[in-house]
Amino acid sequence: MKAALFSALEKALSDNSICAVVTDTGNGQQTLIRDGEAVGDLVLVPDQLKQVNKMMGRDLSGPITDTTLFVRVYGPSPRMVIVGAVHIAQALAPMAQLAGFDVTVIDPREGFVKAGRLSDVTTVAEWPDDAMDALAPDKRTAVVTLTHDPKLDDPALAAALRSPAFYIGSLGSTQTHAKRLQRLKDDGFSDADVARIHGPVGLDIKAKTPSEIAVAILGQVVAIRRQENA
């Protein structure tokens, strides 16, 4: 790898940006693609660049079919922010980690955090509005609220709606969700804004137990992420 390309890769990684190094395995030429710009001596045609961008969106490395090009995607892991150190969170957090997410659980109730099986998960014992400001959800972030408590869920949802988070979900019945949406609209969010919230959260797999509900939530998060990057 040439010095200029290596420097560009180092800069992208230090900025937590997603990028890709494309190598022609036939002649060794390389280029780095980041934010639509290329650095390197390998020139890609539009169709090849489209394939690279699609692979970056999916966080998938590999060859481009019918070419000698290999794409190595670099970038930060997707994130999942869970509000509420409840039983579902104790199942969801390790499942999400196995799926490649960096997970943070927010709950100002230290007793819930300490009692939960979250020793291998980053926890933040702060009110969700403060914690969400610090975490700054981006387009690679999923936000899931699980407390059923408007004092905790609503501020987190409001912060998520003001962000480009690719997924927002909230636990609760259909009736609870309708009341939640009305509170958010009363606070100034539009119908289009609140439509971003998946509620009741998770795929409809008739889940009953905390672990089953966690599976339903993670399945929906992954489906939405892959759908948006298709």
We report the CATH number of the domain holding residue 185 as 3.40.50.720
Boundary residue ending a domain (53, 74, 95): 74
Question: pTM score, two decimals?
Answer: 0.82
With cut-offs at 50, 70 and 90, classify the pLDDT of residue 76: confident
Q: Is the dihedral of CA 3, 34, 32, 12 positive or negative?
A: positive
Give the mean pLDDT of 90-114: 91
* Pair (67, 83) in one structural domain: no
Q: What is the DSSP letter of 100?
A: T
* Pair (64, 86) in one structural domain: no
* Pair (70, 96) in one structural domain: no
Other beta carbons within 10 angstroms of residue 150's beta carbon come to: 15
* Pair (50, 109) in one structural domain: no
Predicted pLDDT at 116: 67
- Dist. CA 22–CA 38, nearest whole Å: 10
Give the mean pLDDT of 139-151: 94
* Pair (133, 111) in one structural domain: yes
Place of tokens 């060859």: 63
* Pair (60, 114) in one structural domain: no
* Pair (163, 109) in one structural domain: yes
* Pair (89, 17) in one structural domain: no
Predicted pLDDT at 94: 94
Q: Is the pLDDT of residue 101 over 90?
A: yes
Predicted pLDDT at 229: 56
* Pair (126, 35) in one structural domain: no
Q: Is the pLDDT of residue 230 over 60?
A: no
Predicted pLDDT at 16: 77
Which domain covers residue 70, as residue numbers?
A: 3-74
* Pair (70, 121) in one structural domain: no
Q: Is the CB of residue 51 less than 8 Å from the CB of residue 22?
A: no
Q: What is the DSSP letter of 33?
A: E
Instruction: Give the residue from 196, 193, 81 showing the smallest Cα distance to 135.
Output: 81
Give the mean pLDDT of 101-128: 87
With cut-offs at 50, 70 and 90, classify the pLDDT of residue 195: very high
